[in-house]
Every structure is written in structure tokens, then in C-alpha cells.
Chains A and B, each alone.
Chain A
Amino acid sequence: MAIEMIMPKVDMDQETGTVVEWVKTDGQQVTEGETILVIETDKIAIDVEAPGTGILTGISAHPGDVIPIGTVIAYILEEGEELPASVPTPAASESEVVSAEKTKDAEIQATPLARKMAETHGVDLSRVPPSGKGGKVTKDDVQSVLAPAGPVTSGDIVATPSARRTARLRGVDLGQIKGSGPGGRIQTSDVENFQPRAAAPAISPVLGGEKIPLIGMRRTIAERLTASYQSIPHVQFTASVDMTNFIKVRADYNDLALERGDEKISVTAVLVKLVAMVIADHPMINSSLIEDTIILHQDINIGVAVALDKGLIVPVVKNANLKGISNIAFETTDLVTRAREETLTSADVRGGTFTITNLGPFGIEQFNAIINPPEAGILAIGATTQEVVALENGAIAVRPMMRITLSADHRIVDGAVAARFIADLKTTLENPILMNY
């Protein structure tokens, strides 16, 4: 009767044994109890005895092999006996250790930029929650698992657990509350006592009519714009842009998008892309003055002003210079939609380094916008209308013309700097193929 010889367990927590050497070889006679094999566990060698008397054969584990305990590694046969039919022919040394190093990254859907960024920063793509179309990992997604860069806009809110709970239950925005606790910590009483101030009209009470209290977003906007206007010396620069090529390029992109079933390419999307790319050559435009230091931001995050009934909100397209037009279109549409649905998160509105505000759809020819602190500039886009223009050769043509106005922080941005930027921008808007030149 064939006697099985198994890889024995001799230790607590031992799952495998390594074959070191066979003291007896295939075909040799062995006696029960005689040492015929040396194995290793935990770097210690152990003698293994023959489980029976007979001929040692059918050895399937060889020096160096790591075998799970309980596995049959040889047989002891009687004279003339055959190996059991199910025994596989002894294979050459095959390691049991299976390498799990498949490039799983190759299976993850990600934009080329996201892939590159992940590779550069050693990020495991399978760990990045994708937010792109069709579950693609975008650069933004990779960015968000790295340490956040960019300027700190709203400070972190310090509030007690009880205050947070109370605010949540009452639907109060903690960001609007001044804390009375140590270090300005918001306590529950601060939330409970928070009263939206009823606006008392300073004007004579003779004027009646509906009263709209300055609260919530309206109030915040009022405060911030006042602060901006009062503390930042604004200087404005205007240029007229021939939008002929721009319109064509946008239409081409849009056709491509429709063909592929992707998001429509809006004017805003192309604007965001082009502005971002031009800003890349003009770092001073993409900066903030914090106390005595001008901080040049590495990332170019373009805020797109969106008008809501209750005020203005500026969601941000991050790293707009590095994203493809399709991606930007997707993002801006998503942001604008969510802005209108009031489901933007604070991440959506933070981190902006430059803002574009477009009143073209309202027919405004030109206007001066107020800078969104702590940014250094804001670009106001006017309506595109057919105008009669004089060409270089003196001929007259009718072209779609648009006015762009840059409001810049004159502490940071000199006239020449702004002028160069606007000139560059005009050139690029008029010749969008320069984008990829």
C-alpha cells in the first residue's frame, strides 16, 4: 500500500516548509523512522523521518521548493508497487510563490495627464476615486489625493462637536458665525444666538417698499466686494478681440464632441482653456499678495463666475492649463449646473487663482469687474457683436468683435505686465491654434 509522505507541520503558525535536501533519493530503500529529508522552517533545519518502510519514490518537491504543509511530496512503495495514478510527473522546481505584481494600473481608466501625474508622484491609480466621464481618473482626482497645494482661502472652522451638530440641525452656515470660545472657537451658544441681522434702511423712512435683509450669501458678497474694492487698487485694461477664428475653432471642437457623444464645448470652456494657457506665460497675473509677500501660484485654477438669483458664486476649474478642452467643458458644465442647483461643495469654490466673468449673454459690451481676493486679476468678457472693422490693408470688413477687460491689482501687476498679458491673450483668442503651437 503506497504510503504518502507529506510536508509536515512542526511549528505553530507554520504554513509552509522549504525542502533543503533529500538524504535518501528516489528509488532507495528506506526504513520507518529513518531521517530521509531535511526541511527548513523559520531558518531552522529539521530532520523528517520516513513514515514507513519501503522504496522512496514519486518525489515531487525539490531543494528550494516552498511547499504548503500537508502537501504530498513523496511516496513509500512496497516492492513491485506502482505509484498511484493521480500522481503528476515530478515537475522541475516550481516556486509556489505567485507574484502578484500585475500592472493593475494598465487596467484603470485614466486621462493621460492623470496617468503621468500619478506616475510622477507615485500614486496608485486604483486608489484614486475617479470623477471624470465614464469613471476616468482625471488629473484633478490625482491632485486631490496628493497634498493640497494652492492658496488657503477660507480658514478652517473651529467649532465644538455640539456647535457643529446644532448648526447642522438648524441649517446654519458655521462660516458665518463668530466664535466666542477660546481662540475664537464656535460654541453652541454662538450658533443658538446667531441672528441674521435685519437690515435697517439708513435712508429716510419715507421710502417704503419691500425690505430685503442683507443676510447669508448676499451679505458675504457685500462684505467681500467692499473689502476688495476698498483695499485693492484696481486698474483696468481693455482690448477688442476678433472672434472669427475662435468661433470656428469652438464649432469644430463642438462637432468633434457631438460625434463622440461627449459634453458640448461651450464658449466658456474654450475661454477658460485659452486664458489658462496664456496665464501660464504670465505668472504675475496668477499670484496673491499676502501681507508683504507676493505668492506666485503653481497651479492655474480658473474661477468661472455664475449668476444665481441670490448672488454670485465662482466655482473653480483646477489646473485648467493642463486639461483638455473636452474635460474642461465637462467640468464647467458640471460646475455651473451644480452652482445653479446649489449643490456645490466648498472644494468646488476654493483654490481659485484667477476669475473670468462673462456678461456677454446679457448684451453688455464691456464692464469692469471687481477682483475676487486674494486673486490678482479678473477678466470681464463682453458680448460678441458684428462690427465694421478696418483691416490692415485699409479694407473694410464685418467681423464678430468682443471686448475683454482685465481688472488687475496694481500693487502686483504693473501696466506693462498687464498690457503684455492682454496682448498675448488677444492674440491667442484670435488665433486659437496657437494654443498647441
Chain B
Amino acid sequence: MREITYLEAIREAMTQEMERDSRVFLIGEDIGEYGGAFQVTYGMLEKFGPERILDTPITELALTGAATGAALIGMRPIAEIMFMDFTTLASEQLVNQAAKLRFMFGGQSTVPMVLRTPAGSGTGAAEHHSQSFENWFVHVPGLKVVMPTTPYDVKGLLISSIRDDNPIVFIEHKLLYKTKGEVPEGLYEIPLGKADIKRAGKDLSIIATGIMVQKSLQAAEELIKEGLDIEVVDPRTLRPLDTETIVNSVKKTGKVLIVHEAVKTGGFGGELAGVIAESEAFGYLEAPIIRLAGREVPIPYNRELEKASVPQVEDIIEKARELATLKV
């Protein structure tokens, strides 16, 4: 099978869906001629024209509301907010409107929209261009939150998200854009709400999101040399969460390390820990549930400080080893 990048997979998903369904259109800043802040939509304006590729001035709030309104009367828009940091500006329309219109109106309507947004640190963009807020949106009933980590997953999940009749926050880690992987050429769906065991193991379960999945896999490759067989579970969809796969993994290994980039306090890891502790898996725990996550700081500019602010492969190796050998 041919290999393409995560970024190309996103573009392919959107292009193929737009060809298939005339109700799908894009709206966002600099997505037209500029090709998108990260070049995701490069070439799409030529293919679909300005009627379906809506470039906007700097209006995060209104463009998110516009996507919501269009979805409300039957269109299937994909909005882009070029940095997750700026979803703060859009959150009124996302949280108060998109998430709630269906419920508020007693089920009279649907809001089939996707809000795509690049998140995460590591590019030196510092405090206002590096954050991850997946937990904020996981917290809102009415929204779905998807966080794919491989080119294969991102295409299948984006296609499913576009076809889903609910408002979906679709989070792409910036550092994943250039990663390559095998991706089928045609249209295919990956169901939302299904986790993926990226690496099966028996000594420890790592539940990781976003780029931490990649880092955890690298850590696992190192640890197997020490005879430690690590299982890496990628939830892929954060809301709704595939609790069954996660619980079964923890039951199998009895030890769990949660790894995410976003700040630890109030982060999604707390939700995962709670889900595990409340489940059947509790009776199988051999050690405390440990979270390895972002430090309690805004992302700093200096390269080394930036790296130190989020878990790196060495950190994951150390923590995983500690937990797998019951030193904690």
C-alpha cells in the first residue's frame, strides 16, 4: 500500500468526501489560496472553487457560528481554527450553540459539523500557539472529540466525522503532519468511539493520546530490550470513550500509565483514571494509576524549556519501567 503523510491523509479525506457529497464545504482562515496555515487545504480552492472553500477574515467566533448555522439547515461544513489556542475565541458558538442546539430544541435539529484544529507544542511557537484543550471539549455533552494519531486513523476518522450528524472537535497534533503511514486510496470509515491497541503487551498498559502515542511506542521498543512488554492503547476518540478496550487492557496487565501532552491538573488523564478506578479493572490493579502529562506551565519559547514542559520518550521509559517493575 502507498504511504502518505498525516497531512495528506486529511486533505484526501476532505477532498473525497466533498466529491461524494455536495453538502460538504470548508470554512476557515487562509484556507483558500494560502492553502491553510499548515498547508492542509493546499490545492482545494482550485478543485472546488470559492463557493465551497470559504476563506474568512479573522473571525473565529463568527466562522464557527456560521458553520453551526449552515449545519443547522442541512449542510455539512468543516471549519478550521488554525491553532487550538484560538478555539477560546470560538468557544461560545461551539459550546453554547453547536453542542446544545439539538438538545435544547428537544431533538428537532442536528448540527453535522466538524471543527478541525491543530494542537500541541514542539514548534517553538510558545504560549499562544502550542496548547492542547481536548479536555475542555470532552467536558461538554453534545460534542464529540476525536484525536487521531496516524495517517491511517486520521483519514478514516475524518471521513466518519464528516458523515456523523453531531458537532465534532477534530484535533490534529502539529508534529504529526509530516509523519508517514500506509493509507488506503479509497473511502473508508473508522468508527468513532473505538480505541485501538497500537501495541499489545502484558506488563503494563499505557493509555496515550495524540503525539504521546508515538512517543509511547518508541518507549515500548526500548523497554522490550529489558524484557518489559508494554501495551499501548490509543483511545482515538475521547468522547465518547471506548471504556471497554481500556478496562480490558488494565485488567490484563494490572498496571496503567496514562500519558498526554496537555497539562496534568484537570487534564483528560484525570478522567481516564476515574473511569479505570470506577470500573471492574479496579480489582485488578497491582499499583496506583499513574499519569504522566504536561507540566504546570504555559509553553515557553526556549527549546529546552519547551521540551521539558511535556513528556518525552525518556520520561515515558522511566515511568513505565518504574511501574512495570512495581517500584511504585
Contact = CB atoms under 8 A, between A and B. Distances in A.
B327 A160 contact: no
Interface stretch (A142-150, A180-188, A350-358): A180-188
B326 A161 contact: no
Interface in B303-328: 326-328
Contacts of B254: 160, 162, 188
Nearest to B254: A162
A411 interface: no
A162 B326 contact: no
A256 to B, nearest CB: 52
A162 B286 contact: yes
Interface string A273-284: 000000000000
B286 A182 contact: no
A187 B283 contact: no
A340 interface: no
A420 interface: no
Interface string B250-288: 000010000000000000000000000000001111110
A165 interface: yes
Contacts of A161: 282-285
Interface in A179-213: 181-182, 187-188
Contact of B287 (A160, A164, A165): A160
Contacts, number: 26
A412 B316 CA distance: 56
B285 A162 contact: yes
A187 B326 CA distance: 9
Given A162-B254, A188-B254, A182 B284 contact: no
A135 B40 CA distance: 74
Contacts of B285: 160-162
Interface in A142-182: 160-165, 181-182
B324 to A, nearest CB: 13
B283 A182 contact: no
A165 B285 CA distance: 10
Interface residues of B, number: 10
A47 to B, nearest CB: 35
Chain A interface residue count: which class? Answer: 10 to 19
B189 to A, nearest CB: 38
Nearest to B288: A160
Contacts of A188: 254, 286
Contact of A165 (B284, B326, B327, B328): B284
Binding site secondary structure of chain A: helix
Nearest to A164: B283
Contacts of A165: 283-284
Contacts of A164: 283
Interface string B8-48: 00000000000000000000000000000000000000000
Contacts of A163: 286
A129 B284 CA distance: 33
B328 A162 contact: no
A182 B282 contact: no
A187 B282 CA distance: 14
A161 B327 CA distance: 16
Interface string A383-423: 00000000000000000000000000000000000000000
A160 B277 CA distance: 13
A162 B288 CA distance: 11
B286 A187 contact: yes
B31 to A, nearest CB: 43
Residue of B283, B285, B328 most packed against chain A (CB within 10 A): B283
Interface string B172-191: 00000000000000000000
Contacts of B327: 182
A163 B284 CA distance: 8
Contacts of B328: 182
A187 B287 CA distance: 9
A98 B282 CA distance: 47
A191 to B, nearest CB: 11
Contacts of A162: 254, 283-286
B287 to A, nearest CB: 7
Contacts of B283: 161-162, 164-165
A85 B246 CA distance: 70
Nearest to B283: A165
A59 to B, nearest CB: 43
A84 to B, nearest CB: 41
Contacts of B326: 181-182, 187
Contacts of A187: 286, 326
A92 B327 CA distance: 75
Residue of B254, B327, B328 most packed against chain A (CB within 10 A): B254
A23 B188 CA distance: 76
A20 to B, nearest CB: 39
A307 B284 CA distance: 38
A206 B327 CA distance: 48
Nearest to A181: B326
A160 B326 CA distance: 11
A182 B283 CA distance: 19
Contacts of B287: 160, 181
Contacts of A182: 326-328
Contacts of A181: 287, 326
Nearest to B285: A161
A414 B188 CA distance: 89
B316 to A, nearest CB: 20
Contacts of B286: 160, 162-163, 187-188
A187 B325 CA distance: 12
A160 B283 CA distance: 8
A194 to B, nearest CB: 16
A163 B287 CA distance: 10
Interface string A241-263: 00000000000000000000000
A181 B325 CA distance: 10
A165 B283 CA distance: 6
Contacts of B282: 161
A335 to B, nearest CB: 33
Nearest to A166: B283
Nearest to A163: B286
A188 B287 CA distance: 10
A178 to B, nearest CB: 15
15 contacts: A160-B285, A160-B287, A161-B283, A161-B284, A162-B254, A162-B283, A162-B284, A162-B285, A162-B286, A164-B283, A165-B283, A165-B284, A182-B326, A182-B327, A187-B326
Those 3 A-B pairs whose CB atoms lie nearest each other, nearest first: A165-B283, A161-B285, A162-B284
Interface of A: 160-165, 181-182, 187-188
Given A161-B285, A162-B283, 11 more contacts: A160-B254, A160-B285, A161-B284, A162-B285, A163-B286, A165-B284, A181-B287, A181-B326, A182-B326, A187-B286, A188-B254
